[in-house]
């Protein structure tokens, strides 16, 4: 009996494979199981080869496996493409007309079980039978998804579910995939993707305005925001392009609404002038950048971590910024709320750097505690302002009183040109120097609030794996496997990649036996940034840039190769 099972559902877009995966995921979580899901899809409405991967295991999971135990093939191409990934114990669920004549293949007469539009329900029933799930949680998940439709549609789904379970009970061969019963005492959990958690974190942090132009993989953040917008009093606006989106957000923030934009690399390229405007006018704005392979349109539905240097240097002139990079679903929630507060506190643009892998992955999490977050309240107290009001009053820490226009007797003036303390245009050279220094002074504020990287394992370990952002899960799993083999391994994960504070981590790097930096780009952008800021060179690196996410299998293979080189 195995409790670590990798399921892959493959087929064309439009065949309902995501529906199968999502319904199974929901049923497994409600039955107390630990799961991790991820998606691979092409940039088209129908056709292409898409997959939904679901891994179920005895302990919390943070990544998929490369090999497959159960393959649900909704077309013949799926078997051809994934044959090499099948384990020796693998089962293949496929239609009787396309099923391969190989060991483990289960040719299913889908046409006898129900109409083609409900074959996904039939496949779900078969998976439930193989995993030993009761029909009830599966049926409940189906009812919730289709319950809003006509009663006869629901009844038809129930009929197909029942018939398919009966067929599976008679025809599924002996296999090792029956899960242990964990249905009793299962804690209430949320099944969330990274993007859903980002949206919930933003709302918990006090978000009141979001502007966007649709762009994968960030769009689902906004879709989640829209579903809660009325309840939470948040305005979500689709702009005509990304330039308009960030300028709308800056305008809303200037007026007092905590604001954000969500986009990807190509969209962020159009927003860059707006980033500079926010910096010059000292207007808070949160920019969420969901990374995907570039340049240009690149591979819009794949993943990468190659926009770090772009976001770090985006904008003309010099101004401080913070860049946060969540490594888990929980951090997607907490760091988004933190970033929204940080942008208001420092009156500067703040960035949240995520990617397609984290955006589309899901797993169960404990419901978030909203009491740990203080929602942003924009602006300063007018009662504490000593007249005459000066929006850009020169202060040692760079923070000037930010009054909201129209909410007090004070006149609030902002200017994208260099300006004096009152906010009026100025070309005074001495004042220019003072204003630059005032804005740069916020960098010390950001450093004092910077999150230290998380060390998992012993300081001074034989091998230290350094990573940032979404690579956390696969890297942690790799370290656990190596520890199980007797190696002394630690991981150092950065959830904040700028500004870096060497005092927080340099001694950890220096104490380690060997240091390997793992990141999803071709040139080692973060390793280069560490060397620039600390002088510490990480010569051993593992970089992935084929559009796919890291897995423990990939990392173990490349660690071995790099050690032998």
Question: At 481, which CATH number?
Answer: 3.40.50.920
In the predicted structure, residue 416 carries a pLDDT above the cut 50: yes
In-domain check, residue 178: no
Q: Which of 83-92, 132-141, 415-424 has the lowest mean pLDDT?
A: 132-141
Reference 457, options 511, 413, 534; nearest CA is 511
Is 458 found in the same domain as 445? no
Is 426 found in the same domain as 346? no
Q: Quick check: 521 and 305 in contact, CB under 8 A? A: yes
Reference 341, options 541, 500, 206, 156; nearest CA is 206
First to last CA, the chain: 39
Distance, CA of 464 to chain centre? 24
In-domain check, residue 392: yes
Is 443 found in the same domain as 460? no
In-domain check, residue 227: yes
Q: Which residue has the tokens 């999502």?
A: 22
**445-497 pLDDT, tens per residue?**
999 999 999 999 999 999 999 999 999 999 999 999 999 999 999 999 999 99
**352-402 pLDDT, tens per residue?**
999 999 999 999 999 999 999 999 999 999 999 989 999 999 998 999 999
Is 138 found in the same domain as 90? yes
Helix (H) or strand (E) holding 365: strand 362-365
In the predicted structure, residue 563 carries a pLDDT above the cut 90: no
Q: Output the average pLDDT for the chain.
A: 95
Name the domain boundary from 449, 480, 505: 449
Q: How many Å apart are CA 308 and CA 236, to the nearest integer?
A: 27
Is 534 found in the same domain as 437? no
Is 400 found in the same domain as 277? no
Can you give the pLDDT at residue 464? 98
Q: Which of 48-62, 193-207, 320-334 has the lowest mean pLDDT?
A: 48-62
pLDDT band at residue 186, thresholds of 50, 70 and 90? Answer: low
CATH code of the domain containing 308: 3.40.50.970
Can you give the pLDDT at residue 111? 95
Domain that holds residue 404: 382-449
Looking at per-residue confidence, does 327 or 184 come out higher? 327
Is 386 found in the same domain as 505? no
In-domain check, residue 177: no
Can you give the pLDDT at residue 100? 92
Can you give the pLDDT at residue 15? 83
In-domain check, residue 184: no
Can you give the pLDDT at residue 470? 97
Can you give the pLDDT at residue 1? 44
In the predicted structure, residue 544 carries a pLDDT above the cut 90: yes
In-domain check, residue 351: yes
**457-468 pLDDT, tens per residue?**
999 999 999 999
User: How far is CA 409 from each of CA 252, 381, 386, 425, rounded to the nearest angstrom?
Assistant: 20, 12, 12, 22
**117-132 pLDDT, tens per residue?**
899 999 999 999 999 9
User: How far is CA 50 from each of CA 11, 53, 387, 440, rounded to the nearest angstrom?
Assistant: 6, 10, 62, 47
Name the domain boundary from 449, 479, 503: 449
Can you give the pLDDT at residue 273? 97
**Percentage of the chain exceeding pLDDT 90:** 89
In-domain check, residue 183: no
Helix (H) or strand (E) holding 446: helix 442-448
**510-519 pLDDT, tens per residue?**
999 999 999 9
**267-317 pLDDT, tens per residue?**
999 999 999 999 999 999 999 999 999 999 999 999 999 999 999 999 999
Is 196 found in the same domain as 151? no
Can you give the pLDDT at residue 528? 98
Name the domain boundary from 449, 465, 499: 449
Is 339 found in the same domain as 225? yes
Q: How many Å apart are CA 65 and CA 556, to the nearest integer?
A: 12
In-domain check, residue 358: yes
Q: How many Å apart are CA 525 and CA 341, to the nearest integer?
A: 27
Is 463 found in the same domain as 440? no
Ranges assigned E (strand) in 404-527: 454-456, 463-468, 489-494, 496-498, 514-519
Can you give the pLDDT at residue 180? 81
β-bridge partners, 519: 543
Counting every residue written for the chain, the total comes to 565
In the predicted structure, residue 45 carries a pLDDT above the cut 80: no
Domain count, the chain: 4
Joined tokens for residue 424 = 């009026």
Is 360 found in the same domain as 222? yes
User: How far is CA 156 from each of CA 100, 115, 117, 121, 430, rounded to the nearest angstrom?
Assistant: 29, 9, 11, 10, 77
Is 148 found in the same domain as 41? yes
Looking at per-residue confidence, does 12 or 552 come out higher? 552
In the predicted structure, residue 149 carries a pLDDT above the cut 70: no
In the predicted structure, residue 423 carries a pLDDT above the cut 70: yes
Q: How many Å apart are CA 321 and CA 79, to the nearest integer?
A: 48
């Amino acid at each position: 009996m195995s409790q670590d099972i990798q399921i892959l559902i493959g087929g064309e877009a439009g065949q309902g494979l995501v529906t199968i995966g999502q319904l199974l995921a929901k049923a497994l979580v409600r039955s107390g199981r630990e799961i991790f899901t991820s998606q691979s899809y092409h940039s088209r409405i129908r056709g292409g080869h898409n997959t939904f991967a679901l891994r179920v295991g005895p302990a919390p999971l943070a990544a998929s496996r490369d090999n497959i135990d159960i393959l649900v093939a909704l077309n013949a191409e799926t078997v051809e493409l994934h044959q090499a990934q099948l384990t020796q114990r693998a089962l293949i669920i496929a239609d009787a007309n396309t099923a391969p004549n190989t060991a483990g293949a289960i040719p299913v007469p889908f046409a006898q079980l129900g109409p083609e539009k409900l074959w996904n329900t039939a496949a779900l029933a078969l998976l439930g039978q193989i995993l030993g799930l009761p029909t009830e949680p599966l049926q409940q998940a189906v009812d919730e998804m289709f319950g809003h439709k006509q009663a006869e549609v629901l009844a038809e789904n129930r009929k197909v579910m029942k018939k398919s379970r009966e067929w599976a009970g008679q025809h599924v061969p002996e296999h090792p995939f029956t899960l242990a019963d964990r249905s009793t005492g299962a804690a209430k959990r949320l099944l969330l993707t990274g993007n859903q958690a980002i949206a919930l974190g933003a709302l918990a942090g006090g978000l009141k305005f979001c502007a966007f132009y649709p762009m994968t993989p960030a769009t689902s953040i906004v879709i989640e925001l829209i579903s809660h917008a009325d309840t939470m009093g948040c305005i979500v606006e689709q702009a005509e392009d990304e330039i308009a989106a960030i300028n709308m957000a800056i305008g809303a923030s200037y007026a007092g609404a905590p604001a954000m934009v969500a986009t990807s690399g190509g969209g962020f390229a159009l927003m860059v002038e707006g980033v500079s405007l926010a910096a010059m006018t000292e207007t808070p704005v949160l920019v969420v950048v969901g990374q995907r392979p570039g340049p240009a349109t690149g591979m819009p539905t794949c993943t990468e971590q190659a926009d770090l240097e772009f976001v770090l240097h985006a904008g003309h002139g010099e101004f401080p910024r913070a860049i946060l990079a969540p490594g888990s679903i929980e951090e997607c929630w907490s760091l988004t709320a933190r970033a929204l507060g940080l942008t208001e506190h420092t009156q500067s643009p703040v960035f949240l750097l995520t990617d397609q892998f984290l955006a589309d992955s899901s797993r169960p999490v404990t419901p978030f505690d909203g009491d740990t977050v203080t929602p942003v309240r924009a602006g300063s107290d007018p009662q504490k302002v000593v007249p005459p009001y000066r929006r850009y009053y020169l202060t040692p820490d760079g923070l000037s009183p930010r009054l909201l226009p129209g909410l007090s007797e004070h006149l609030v003036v902002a200017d994208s040109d260099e300006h004096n303390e009152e906010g009026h245009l100025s070309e005074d050279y001495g004042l220019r120097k003072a204003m630059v220094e005032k804005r740069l002074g916020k960098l010390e504020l950001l450093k004092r609030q910077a999150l230290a990287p998380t060390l998992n394992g012993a300081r001074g370990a034989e091998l230290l794996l350094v990573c940032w952002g979404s690579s956390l899960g696969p890297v942690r799993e790799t370290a656990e496997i190596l520890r199980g083999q007797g190696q002394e391994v630690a991981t150092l994960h950065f959830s904040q990649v700028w500004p870096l504070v060497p005092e927080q981590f340099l001694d950890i790097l220096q104490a380690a036996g060997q240091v390997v930096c793992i990141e999803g780009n071709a040139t080692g952008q973060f390793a280069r940034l560490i060397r620039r800021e600390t002088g510490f060179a990480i010569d051993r690196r593992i970089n992935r840039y084929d559009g796919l996410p890291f897995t423990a299998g990939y990392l173990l293979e490349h660690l071995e190769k790099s050690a032998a080189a």
